[in-house]
Chains A and B, each alone.
Chain A
Amino acid sequence: MTSTETKTGDPTGERNPEAPVLEVEDLHVTFPGVNRAPDIRAVRGVSYRLNRGEVLGIVGESGSGKSVSSLAAMGLLPEYAKVSGSVRLKGKEILGLDDRRLAEIRGRTISMVFQDPLSALTPVYTVGDQIIEAVQIHNPQVGRAKARERAVRLLELVGIPNAAQRAGAFPHEFSGGMRQRVMIAMAMANDPDVIICDEPTTALDVTIQAQVLELLKTAQRETGAAIVMITHDLGVVAGFVDRVLVMYAGRPVETGTVDEVYHRPRMPYTMGLLGAVPRLDLAEHAPLVPIKGNPPSLAELPPGCPFAPRCPIALPQCLAAEPSLLRIGAQPGLAEIDAAPGAAGESGGPDTGEHRVACIRSGEIDTEQWTGADIYPLPEIPEGEATRIPREERPVVLEVQDLVKHHPLMKGAIFKRRVGTVYAVDGISFDIREHETLGLVGESGCGKSTTLMEILSLDKPARGKVVVLGRESGTLTGRERFDIRRDLQVVFQDPMSALDPRMPVFEIVAEPLRTHGRSRKEINRRVRELLDLVGLDASHAARYPAEFSGGQRQRIGIARALALEPRVLVLDEPVSALDVSIQAGVINLLEELQARLGLAYLFVAHDLSVVRHLADRVAVMYLGRIVEIGDVRSVYTEPAHPYTQALLSAIPIPDPEKERARAHVVLEGDLPSPANPPSGCRFRTRCQKFRALTGEDQRRCLTEEPALQPVSGGDHTAACHYAEKRAVV
C-alpha cells in the first residue's frame, strides 16, 4: 500500500447532488531517490474539483506530472511513492485506503482508460471474459449469463460490429482502435461516476482518434460520468473538455474554462504552448514560437517559478518564490515580493472554478492584453533564394515512378510456400524539386515508411523506378551508389534509437564524414560547425546520447544527416516523438536549414498540421497508393478525395470555438489489411461518399480502380471517380 499522510478531510460524505464527484486537494507525490540521488517531486500541489457530467482536461508535456497525479488519485502508484494531500470521491476520502477497500471503488465509482490498449488488456482471456469479470467483480450476484449479456451490450454500445461473436475473440485479434473501444466498454461497465482517461488516443491514428473521442462523448452521455482527460494534445482538449488544467513541472500553472485558457491565456507557458502548435486552420506561413530550453529536472528544482528559466518575460522577482495559483490580479505586486521574499509558494488552495494563473505578471499580461506573439521573440527564418524561382524551372532531385513493393507472405517451417502478398506500396509516383518539401501523409500501415526504405536502399525496385539526382537506382555501380549516399540522407523518427547509445556525440556526427574519407582536421572542424548549426554546444560533443533530451537528440540526428551537405533529406516523422514546445524548435530549424542550404525534403508524417506548416506539396497515401497529391494550400483548403477530407476533418484544432463548430467526418472501421485490399477503389469500404452513392454509381467504385486525375488548375490531382472539392478545415 502506498504510504500516505492524509489530511483529515470532511468525513461526513453526504450525498449532495451539487457536490463535486471528485475533489483533489493539494496532492503531492514524491518518489524517494535511491543511492543518494535526490527525491523526485513528481507532483507538487495539484487541486481540482470535478462536478457531475463535467469534463476536465489536464494538459502538460511529458514529465509534467499529469499522469502521476491521476494514478495517485486511483491509488495505483508503486508502494515506495509518497503521496500526501486529499482525494475525495463523492465526499469520501479515498487517499490512504488499503488496497482491498480501493478495489471496491475502482471500476465501480471511478474507472480508468489507459494509453496503450494492448498492455491494458490481458492477452490470455477473451475480451468478453474480461468485461464479464469487470461486471461480476462488483456485482457478484449477477449471474454469468446476465453478465455476458451486459458485456455484449457494452461492446455494441462502443461500436464493435458483431458484438456477440467478437466477445469471444482475444485482444490480439482486435486492432488498436478496437482494443481502445473494449477498454472504454470495461470502464463503462459499472456506470462509474468518474472516468479517468490517460492519453486515450495518443497511440492511435487520427481517423481512429476521432472515432474514439466520439465514443467517449457517447460514453459520457450514457453514464453521465465526469471525465478527466489527460493529454499532451492541445487539439484533443479544445473540442472535448469544459475546463482545462495546465501543468508544468508537477504543478498546475493555469486553470480555467477551455475558452478562457485558449483565448485569453495569462501564463507565459500556456501562451508559448499554444503558439508552438502548428495549426491546420491557419494558412499564413508564420514561424512557430518555440519555448527555449528544456523542462527542469524534477529532482533538483530551483527556487522560484519553475518556468522562469525559459520564460521570455521573467523578472528577478520570479526567482524569489514559486508563485501560487491565484485569480488574475490577486498575485502579489513586485514590491510585496521584494519586501517578503519566499512568502508565496503555496499551491493556491482548493479549486474554485475560476480562471487562475500561477504567474506574478498575470495581472500585467491581462491589462496589457498580451498574446503569445507579443511576449515571445519570433524566430526569423530567412527567405531562400530558390523559392523565387518557379517550381517548373528548378531541377528535379528525386523522382519516383510507379514504385511497387510487395512483401510475400510465407507459411510453413521447412517448405516455405507463398500464401499471399502484402501490397505495401502499390504503384506510386511523385517528384521533388530542389528547395522543396513534399509531405507524405497517411495512417500507420499505409506504406509511407516502406516507400522511404525503398528509396533509401537504392536497390532496384520490384517495379517502377526511383531516380535520385538523375541517377536511377538499381542500375548503379557500388561506387556510384556510395556517391549518391552523400547527397541523400535520412533523419529518423525516434531520436533514441537513431543514435548509437554507445557512441559519443562527436563520433556519431563524424561517422558520415569518416565514411566518406574526410581528413581528421576537417572532421574536427566540421563537427563543431554542425553542432553549432543545429544549436548545440560543441563542448558537449564527448557526451553520450542518453545525456541529452529528446529534442537535442533529434538535433544531433539532423546534424549527422547534414554532415555531408546532402541535397535531399528524407525525414521519417522527425518530430512525432517530441513535446510540442520542443517540436516547434526542431520544425523551425528544419525550415531555416532549407532556406539556408537549399535542401529538398521528403517529409513523412502522420500529423497533418506539421505537414501543412512545413511542406510545399503534400501526397496523401492510403493502402499503398497515393490518393491525392498537390500543393499544400490547394489540398488543405479544397481537398477533393473523401479520404483526405476525412483525415483533415479528424484532426482536432486547438481552438475551442472553431472545434465545437466543426462537423467531423468520422470514418467507419479500420484500415483493411494490405494483404487483401478491396477491389476497385481501395477506400470504398470506409468511404463516406460511397455510402451516399446510388447502386449504379457504386458499381464503378467496386470494379474500377480510380487513377489520379486533375481536380483543378495546377497539379492538384485526386484518385476518386467522384472527386469533389470541399472545405473541411
Chain B
Amino acid sequence: MSMSAERVASETETGQEGGTDETRIPGRWSVVLGTMLRQRRVLVGLAVLLLLVAAAWIGPLLSPWGFEERDYASFLRPPSPEHWLGTDNTGRDLYIITLVGLQKSIIIGLLVAVITTAVAAVVGAFAGYFLNLTDKVLMWVTDLALVLPSFLILAILFPAIRDSGWIVFVLLLAAFGWMITAKMVRGMTISLKEREYVYAARYMGVSPVRIIFRHIIPNMSSLLIVDATINVSSAIIAETSLSYFGFGVQAPDVSLGTLIALGSRQAVTHPWTFVFCTGLLIVLVMAVNLIGEGLRDALDPQSKSRRA
C-alpha cells in the first residue's frame, strides 16, 4: 500500500473536526510527522534514543558505586558482578562513568549538530537568496571562520570562558563546524531561488525571509539532515580533542569522547575500557541516523522508500 493512500485513509479515520462533514485536511508539518512516525526505522531509532537517555540519567542511580568513588582494590579489572563493566586504571567503576559520560555526549552531540546545521542553513540561505551585500558580508565571515585556526581562537578566548558551563562549550563547537555546509547551502540556494515556485511566492507577496524558511530550506532538507547526523558523531569526537587541550569536559568530569580517548590506548590489552563507551557512541549515532533518514524521507515526497 502506498504511503499516500495510507495517509488518505488515516485522515478519514481521525480527521473529523468541526461542524462540517468534510474531513479536515492535515497541514504540511502534521503530514510530515505522520509519515515519519509510520516508518519502522524511525520508531526503532526513537526507541533506542529514549533508551539511551533513560540509561544515561536513570542508570547511574542503580549502581552501588558513586561517580567519584574509586575502588583501590581493583585497577583495570574486567567486568565482574561487583563492577558491571569493569574498572579503569584509577579504580573508577566503568559502568557509572560511561553512563555519566553518555549524558554529556548526548547533550553535546545533539545540540551541536542541530545548532551547526541550523546556522549553516540560515547563513547559506540568506547569503544565496539576497546575494549582493548580504552575501558579501556573510561569506566574508564564513571565509574568515574557515581560515582562522580554531585553536588560535580558543587560546584567545580561553581565559574569558574558562569557568563558564557546557552551553558555551556547545556553542563554541558549533561555531567551528558550520562553514563548509553554509557554502554548499548558498550554492543550492542560488539555483533554488530561480525555481518558479519561488517566483510564484514572491509575486504573491510572501516576504523574502518567509520564502527562505518555507520554500528554500525545506527543499534542501536532504542535505541538511545528512549533515546534521554526521555532525552528531563528529561533535562527540571533536569534543575529545578540545578536552585534550584542557578545555570543555575536564577531569574529573567525563564524556564518551574522553573515555574513548582514554580507552583507545589500552583497547587491545584491556578491551572493556574501550568497547563499552565506543559501542554506546555507535548505538547513539545509529539511532540518530535512523531518525534522520526517516525525517528525510518524510520531507521528500519523491523518495524511493516511500513509494515502495
A: residues with CB less than 8 A from B are 35-37, 456, 481-482, 485-486, 488-490, 492-494, 497-504, 506-507, 511-512, 515-516, 524, 527-528, 538-547, 557, 560, 564
Contacts and interface: CB of A to CB of B under 8 A. Distances in A.
B205 A542 contact: no
Contacts of A492: 196, 199-200
Contact of B28 (A498, A503, A516, A538): A503
Nearest to A453: B199
Contacts, number: 98
B300 interface: yes
B135 interface: no
What 7 pairs across the A-B complex have the smallest Cβ distances?
A544-B301, A485-B205, A498-B196, A492-B196, A512-B204, A500-B197, A506-B25
Interface in B273-308: 299-302, 304, 308
A490 B199 CA distance: 9
A151 B299 CA distance: 53
B219 A541 contact: no
Interface in B173-219: 195-197, 199-201, 203-206, 210, 214-215, 218-219
Contact of A501 (B31, B206, B302): B302
Interface stretch (B4-12, B66-74, B116-124, B245-253): B4-12
A691 B284 CA distance: 78
Contact of B27 (A37, A507, A516, A528): A507
Interface string B1-34: 0001001100100000000001111111001000
Contacts of A501: 219, 301-302
18 contacts: A485-B204, A485-B205, A486-B205, A490-B199, A490-B200, A492-B196, A498-B200, A500-B215, A502-B219, A502-B300, A503-B218, A504-B28, A506-B28, A524-B25, A527-B25, A542-B25, A543-B4, A543-B7
A560 B300 CA distance: 22
Given A507-B27, A542-B26, A546-B301, A502 B200 contact: no
B221 interface: yes
Contact of B4 (A503, A512, A547): A547
Interface in B58-90: none
Contacts of A507: 27-28
Nearest to B28: A507
A543 B7 CA distance: 9
Given A502-B218, A504-B28, A515 B205 contact: yes
B206 to A, nearest CB: 5
Contact of B22 (A499, A512, A528): A528
Given A497-B196, A512-B204, A504 B31 contact: yes
B204 A564 contact: yes
A454 to B, nearest CB: 12
Contact of A511 (B25, B201, B304): B201
A504 B35 CA distance: 13
Given A504-B31, A544-B301, 11 more contacts: A37-B308, A481-B205, A490-B199, A500-B218, A502-B221, A511-B214, A516-B204, A524-B25, A527-B25, A542-B25, A544-B302
A542 B219 CA distance: 18
Given A489-B203, A494-B196, A542-B11, A36 B299 contact: no
A510 to B, nearest CB: 9
Contacts of B8: 539-540, 542-543
Contact of A35 (B4, B196, B204, B308): B308
B31 to A, nearest CB: 6
A515 B22 CA distance: 24
Contacts of A504: 25-26, 28, 31
Nearest to A516: B205
B197 A499 contact: yes
Of the listed residues B8, B25, B26, the one surrounded by the most CB atoms of chain A closer than 10 A to its CB is B25
Nearest to B195: A497
A499 B205 CA distance: 16
A490 B204 CA distance: 8
Given A511-B206, A546-B302, A36 B308 contact: yes
B301 A542 contact: no
Nearest to A482: B205
B140 to A, nearest CB: 15
Contacts of B210: 515
A493 B195 CA distance: 11
Nearest to B194: A497
Contact of A542 (B7, B200, B201): B7
A498 B22 CA distance: 28
A489 B200 CA distance: 8
Interface string B212-248: 0011001101000000000000000000000000000
Contacts of B218: 500, 502-503
A582 B203 CA distance: 27
B110 to A, nearest CB: 24
A200 B22 CA distance: 49
B26 to A, nearest CB: 6
Contacts of A560: 200, 204
B299 A490 contact: no
A637 to B, nearest CB: 35
Nearest to A570: B203
Contacts of A557: 200
Contacts of A506: 25, 27-28
B235 to A, nearest CB: 27
B197 A497 contact: yes
B150 to A, nearest CB: 30
Contacts of B197: 497-500
Nearest to B219: A502
A722 to B, nearest CB: 41
A500 B25 contact: no
A504 B31 CA distance: 8
Of the listed residues A36, A515, A516, the one surrounded by the most CB atoms of chain B closer than 10 A to its CB is A515
B51 to A, nearest CB: 32
A78 to B, nearest CB: 19
Nearest to B15: A542
Contacts of A546: 301-302
A552 B5 CA distance: 18
Contact of A515 (B7, B204, B215): B204
A89 to B, nearest CB: 39
Nearest to A494: B196
B67 to A, nearest CB: 46
Contacts of B22: 528, 538
A213 B11 CA distance: 53
A494 B200 CA distance: 12
Contacts of A481: 205
Nearest to B216: A500
A471 to B, nearest CB: 14
Nearest to A547: B4
Contacts of A500: 197, 215, 218-219
Contacts of B300: 502
Contacts of A482: 205
A502 B223 CA distance: 14
A492 B22 CA distance: 31
B203 A485 contact: yes
A301 to B, nearest CB: 18
Contacts of A547: 4, 301
B131 to A, nearest CB: 14
B137 to A, nearest CB: 18
Contacts of A490: 199-200, 203
A505 to B, nearest CB: 9
Given A501-B219, A501-B301, A502-B221, A541 B204 contact: no
Contacts of A35: 304, 308
Contacts of B28: 503-504, 506-507
Nearest to A486: B205
Of the listed residues B24, B28, B204, the one surrounded by the most CB atoms of chain A closer than 10 A to its CB is B204
B119 to A, nearest CB: 22
Nearest to B218: A502
Contacts of B205: 481-482, 485-486, 512, 515-516
A502 B203 contact: no
